[in-house]
Amino acid sequence: MSAAPPSGLSALPSRRQSGWIVGLCAAAYLLVFPYYPEINNPNENVRLYMTAAIAEDGTYVIDELRARWGWVNDCAVREGHAYSVKAPATSFLGVPGYWVYYQLTQRTGLAFDRTVALAICRVTASILPWLLFLFFFHRFLGRHTSSPLVRDAVFVSLALGSCLYGYGILFMSHTLSAAAAFGAFMLLFDAAHARRISRGRAFLAGLLAAMVTLLEYPGLVASLALTLYALFALRPIARFGFYTLGGLIPTAAMMHFQWRCFGSPFSPGHLYVESDFLRGRHEEGFFGAVGVQWEALYGLLVHPGAGLLPLTPILVFAIYGLWVLVRRPLSRRDGLTCLALLGLTTLGIAVMNNWRGGWTIGPRYLVVAYPFLGWAALFGLEPVVRRAPRLAAALAVGCTIVGLVLSGVPSAYYPHYPIPVDRPLSQVVSVLVADGFAPFTVLNRFGVYGGASMLPLALVFVLAIGGLLWVGRAHRVRLSGLLGGLLVALALIVPLSIDPAPDDPEVRDAVALITRTWSPRGHDRAARLEAQLRAAPEADGYLELAEVYEGEGRLREAQRARGRAAALGPRSSDRTSSDRTR
């Protein structure tokens, strides 16, 4: 059952078209595997520990896993036992894949590899469910615009040009919370405009709406907004009973988790956080809520290197799009639901003393609202599509390029930047690319490392932009769309990438930390120079190595390299000439 959109617009793609573009996204999600074990990322690791505890021993207690794999942060300790402090859904979703892998190693004698287990959990619990959502999301977007180019620009901007990509390739909950929230909204939207819904769809809508909170505690705001929408959307009203039944499953799972771990079905673990510092922050105000902070609103929404709108600029059009939705009687409830979800979520995070959430790529606590803003952006762009299609194409293509460059590329390289880094592209990624750093990729299996191993991902991004121009061919915007898009992209990327503090020692130290703990090791420029110098030491080489280290903020290593150059005496070329004279 599918309701016609209230706007009367439709660029509904075929299933094959949706399959192709989702397949392109799948390549981007599966080609790279950014993993840095020395960083000991608590957001992923504590979830993996809980998954392992459930799959291996049927318990939430992660004591044995911490003894086996080492200490990890983001734990709550109660009555002498450690538990994950995160909402449990991601750990639950990881259990089937982890269990199969664990049983395989137990029964065949193969060595268990924690990194392989993490990769399986990423694919089965994060990437595949998200790709399934993207298929339906692409088709839903197509029903609400007259332009296939704008449809695909919004889609690519969200799937590959936002922090949805960065968190979607990790074993984390943010991207899936967005999928659950908007999945429920799509079902409820169809119900509202068709004035009917099947029992199964009502049940699924309730399941997804409650799942948002099971994935992320701050998702409670979205769950409540969707439930209020459901009261008006579901007809006959008896279908709300099936919605409620669906919602009871995640609710019961959450209550069981909190009861067994923290002694009460209604008690999250934040007041039992192991870290004295974090526990103290949670004890401030109401679980860390201390009042609206303007710094938080700026950082979440418009900060040039970390805000929602600059990093995925096509969402700027959602501002007008929400107004359009609210103004029209037929879409007013839809628009108000989106507006309430975004506004209340933003305010709910802006009052928290930990509003940024540590090491991040973009505003991770606002990720749940991204699909809603993407949908609203279609309505903001539609007047431009009707009156100036070439301008609309330039804006859509340009904004998509900006998202790919400012969000997509940093996400693929290192999707968790330290707090001092506020321009990931210019402060960190530019150094990584210049010096040949690259995360684990599929091409590593064939002996290809460094920058060359990232070429397939670059090709995916190029094909994504090419696809926009291809679907816009009916409006003759291929060349003009590309040229206009490049101009728009250049006009945005340059100012948004300017490093505001090029000599900031905290940023330098953050870059040094990232490059010192990089994985895979041994393939960057400094590592290659070190290998050459071990075989044939020379002063010139060590001086070059020192310059590379200084560019990476690694001052200790640079000083050591200069010391070795000095120990070798005269420049190697001078010694060679002297030897020949003698």
Q: Over pLDDT 70: what percentage of the chain?
A: 93
Residue-range definition of the domain harbouring residue 534 = 524-573
Instruction: Please tell me whether the peptide bond between 418 and the residue prior to it is cis, using omega within 30 degrees of 0.
Output: no
Q: In which element (H, E) is residue 75 found? A: strand 75-78
Mean pLDDT confidence for 498-509: 92
Give me the pLDDT at residue 282, please.
Answer: 63
Q: Is the pLDDT of residue 345 over 90?
A: yes
Task: Evaluate if residue 460 carries a pLDDT over 90.
Answer: yes
554 falls within a domain: yes
Number of structural domains found in the chain: 1
- The region that residue 312 occupies, defined by phi over 0 for left and psi between -120 and 50 for alpha, beta otherwise, is beta
More confident of the two residues 355 and 302: 302
pLDDT digits over 197-225, tens only? Answer: 999 999 999 999 999 999 999 999 999 99
> Is 557 among the domain residues?
yes
What is the reported pLDDT for 8? 58
Within a domain: 535: yes
Handedness of CA 266, 270, 271, 272 (dihedral sign): positive
In a domain, 559, yes or no: yes
State which amino acid sits at residue 291: G
Cα–Cα dist 188/342, whole Å:
17
Whether residue 531 lies inside any domain: the answer is yes
Position 577 scores a pLDDT of 38
Q: How far apart are CA 97 and CA 22, in angstroms?
A: 22
CB-based contact 322:376 (threshold 8 Å): yes
State how far the Cα of 391 lies from the Cα of 539, in Å rounded to an integer.
56
Work out the average pLDDT over 93-102. Answer: 98
Rounded alpha-carbon distances, angstroms, from residue 305 to 244, 362, 403, 497, 498: 41, 8, 12, 7, 9
Is residue 422 a contact partner of residue 303, using CB atoms and an 8 Å limit?
yes
Q: Does residue 382 register a pLDDT over 50?
A: yes
Contact in structure between 422 and 311 (CB atoms under 8 Å): no
Q: pLDDT for 109-140, tens place per residue?
A: 899 999 999 999 999 999 999 999 999 999 99
pLDDT at 574: 47
One-letter amino acid for residue 247 of the chain: G
229 lies in a domain? no
What value does the mean pLDDT take over residues 255-261? 96
C-alpha angle with apex 489: 296 to 361, nearest 5 degrees?
35
**Per-residue pLDDT at 270:** 81
Q: Please report the pLDDT score of residue 110 as a whole number.
A: 93
Per-residue pLDDT at 580: 33
- Residue 415 CB partners (closer than 8 Å, separation 6+): 34, 163, 166, 167, 169, 170, 361
pLDDT above 80: residue 4: no
Q: What is the pLDDT of residue 476?
A: 63
The predicted-structure confidence for 155-200, as pLDDT tens digits, reads as follows: 999 999 999 999 999 999 999 999 999 999 999 999 999 999 999 9
Q: Widest CA span of the chain, in angstroms?
A: 101
User: Does residue 87 sit within a domain?
Assistant: no
Alpha-carbon gap, residue 216 to 235, rounded angstroms: 29
Does residue 500 belong to any structural domain of this protein? no
Residue 146 has pLDDT above 80, yes or no: yes
pLDDT tens, 18-63? Answer: 999 999 999 999 999 999 999 999 999 999 999 999 999 999 999 9
- How high is the pLDDT of residue 575? 45
Q: How confident is the model at residue 581 (pLDDT cuts 50, 70, 90)?
A: very low
Mean per-residue pLDDT for 525-539? 93
The whole-chain average pLDDT of the chain stands at 92
User: Alpha helices, DSSP H only, in 365-473?
Assistant: 370-387, 389-403, 409-413, 424, 430-434, 455-471
412-440 pLDDT per residue, tens: 999 999 999 999 999 999 999 999 999 99
Task: State the amino acid at position 223 in one-letter form.
Answer: S
The angle at the Cα of 519, spanning 514 to 521, to the nearest 5 degrees, equals 105
**pLDDT score at 582:** 37
Rounded CA-CA distance 566/553 in Å is 21
CA angle 303, 306, 309 (to 5 degrees): 65
Say if residue 2's pLDDT is above 80.
no
Structure confidence by residue, pLDDT tens digits, 301-314: 999 999 999 999 99
